[in-house]
Amino acid sequence: MPDQTETSPKLNVSSTEIKSPSYDLKKFKLKRILNNNSKAKSITLLGTFPDLSETDTAIVVFEKNAYRESDVATEAKVPAEKEKEEQKPTYFSSDLKVRTDFINNIYGSFQCVPNPELCAVKSTVIYPATDKHVEKYSICQKYLINETPDLYATITLPYITSSQFSLDWVYNILEHKQEKERIVFEDNDPETGFILLPDLKWDGRNVENLYLLGIVRNRGIKSLRDLNASHLPMLRHLREAAKQAILERYGLNPHQLRMYFHYQPSFYHLHVHINPIRNDAPGIWCEKSHMLDTVINNLELVSDYYARASLPFVLYEGNKLLELYDKQLSVRKAVVKKEEADKEQEELEKKEDEPAEAFSDEEPEEARQCKRIKLSTPEKQDESEKDLVAPACA
């Protein structure tokens, strides 16, 4: 992470490219943990930068980086003539600190602390963060909505029209005001053109977890819903030109790439997500992703497919759109048949006699989240920790 001890100018999105933030990350003051994902090895924090403001909230995401294969090179594998230029630190060098947990027969367990260069943590900061950002980053109960064209027109569209994240960052990219030097490929045609560049989520170092965005130039397409056959030339061009650019820049086989749209997206300006299929990037679940190939094919078969289709999507607890859908469809109210309810009651009574469930650091995060939802809040809670722990469902 770059040193941020120097103070820097306040954010001004309309000026030339900004390189240093207005805040000092070292001065972040934690208010609450929004999400702790042991699978993704990331933690999402809510807090403030008190030297700037006591009230403006900031979201900080720390995420451990994936391993690069070059980081585990051993000296024996580096050819002698290359030794001088290969100054890059690796895990297997003299500065590796090793602490033994235990050794049992042929099995050994250790804690290794490598060269600090290899311990960088990818950090994303949103400052100042809006309530909508806090809502997005606090993972809670999820509900699946099957959105018909009618529901889109009467509930979703009015909601996204009146309440959505600012698209300034997208326009800054399209107008070369920000991230210009990160552009991998661009085509300026107003109808079929697009910009290809690294996603905010990618550290840009490790091709294994490459994550690019293809942002279309056409500003009139909010999402998949707005696509029709007239957009086919643009979609086909994006697919082919992005694959070619990725092959040339990163050497990745086009047949190993996943290209898809999110529905619902967070940002209502059409963009394609691109990452290698061997890497499970965040947000690739079937309830959220629509493959570019499938989208093109659907539009080839039925020109107004996405205006007529029912499209499922997920809503999180705390999202205002969920309230609107709940009013109309009672999505939170589980419909349980009587026999099922009786069976559940029986099992519940049996379980009451069993010892209570406990958390274990070894369990996957999803299992722990489920338990948090099921368990009642402990009667006594340390006052000093009360504000720090994530809400029951986060």
Report the catalytic residues. Answer: 271
Which is nearer to ligand M7G, 91 or 185 (by Cβ)?
A: 185
SS3 175: coil
Shortest separation between residue 139's beta carbon and ligand M7G, angstroms: 12
Q: Which amino acid is at 21?
A: P
The answer to whether 217 and 233 are in contact (CB under 8 A) is no
Region at 251 (left for phi over 0; alpha for psi -120 to 50; beta for the rest): left
The answer to whether 45 and 34 are in contact (CB under 8 A) is yes
Q: Does 315 bind ligand M7G (CB under 6 A)?
A: no
Rounded CA-CA distance 142/228 in Å is 30
Which of the ranges 142-150, 184-192, 259-267, 307-315 carries the binding residues for ligand M7G, by CB under 6 A? 259-267
Retrieve residue 294's tokens: 């499938």
Applying CB under 6 A, the site for ligand M7G has a residue count of 13
The answer to whether 211 and 274 are in contact (CB under 8 A) is yes
Q: Does 199 bind ligand M7G (CB under 6 A)?
A: yes
Which is nearer to ligand M7G, 72 or 200 (by Cβ)?
A: 200
Q: Which of 283, 307, 363, 393 binds ligand M7G (CB under 6 A)?
A: 283
Which is nearer to ligand M7G, 169 or 305 (by Cβ)?
A: 169
In a 10 Å sphere around its CB, with 0-12 CB exposed, 13-18 middle and 19+ buried, how is residue 140 labelled? Answer: buried
The dihedral built from the CA positions of residue 366, 367, 372 and 374, taken in this order, carries a sign that is positive
Q: Which of 133, 222, 262, 290 binds ligand M7G (CB under 6 A)?
A: 262
Rounded CA-CA distance 168/170 in Å is 5
Shortest separation between residue 11's beta carbon and ligand M7G, angstroms: 12
Shortest separation between residue 196's beta carbon and ligand M7G, angstroms: 11
Q: Does 266 bind ligand M7G (CB under 6 A)?
A: yes
Q: Which of residues 206-225 bind ligand M7G (CB under 6 A)?
A: 213
Q: Which of 200, 336, 341, 373 binds ligand M7G (CB under 6 A)?
A: 200
Retrieve residue 98's tokens: 């090793």
Q: Which of 91, 267, 305, 316 binds ligand M7G (CB under 6 A)?
A: 267
Q: Which of residues 150-169 bind ligand M7G (CB under 6 A)?
A: 169
Shortest separation between residue 54's beta carbon and ligand M7G, angstroms: 25
Which is nearer to ligand M7G, 149 or 198 (by Cβ)?
A: 198
Query: What is residue 6's DSSP assignment?
Result: S
Q: Does 11 bind ligand M7G (CB under 6 A)?
A: no
CB atoms within 10 A of CB 217: 17
Which is nearer to ligand M7G, 41 or 201 (by Cβ)?
A: 201
Shortest separation between residue 258's beta carbon and ligand M7G, angstroms: 13
Q: Which of 265, 290, 295, 369 binds ligand M7G (CB under 6 A)?
A: 265
| CA distances in angstroms from 26 to 51, 93, 195, listed in the order given | 11, 29, 34
What phi and psi values does residue 78 have, to the nearest 5 degrees?
-85, 120
Rounded CA-CA distance 228/129 in Å is 34
Residues that bind ligand M7G (CB under 6 A): 169, 179, 197-201, 213, 262, 265-267, 283
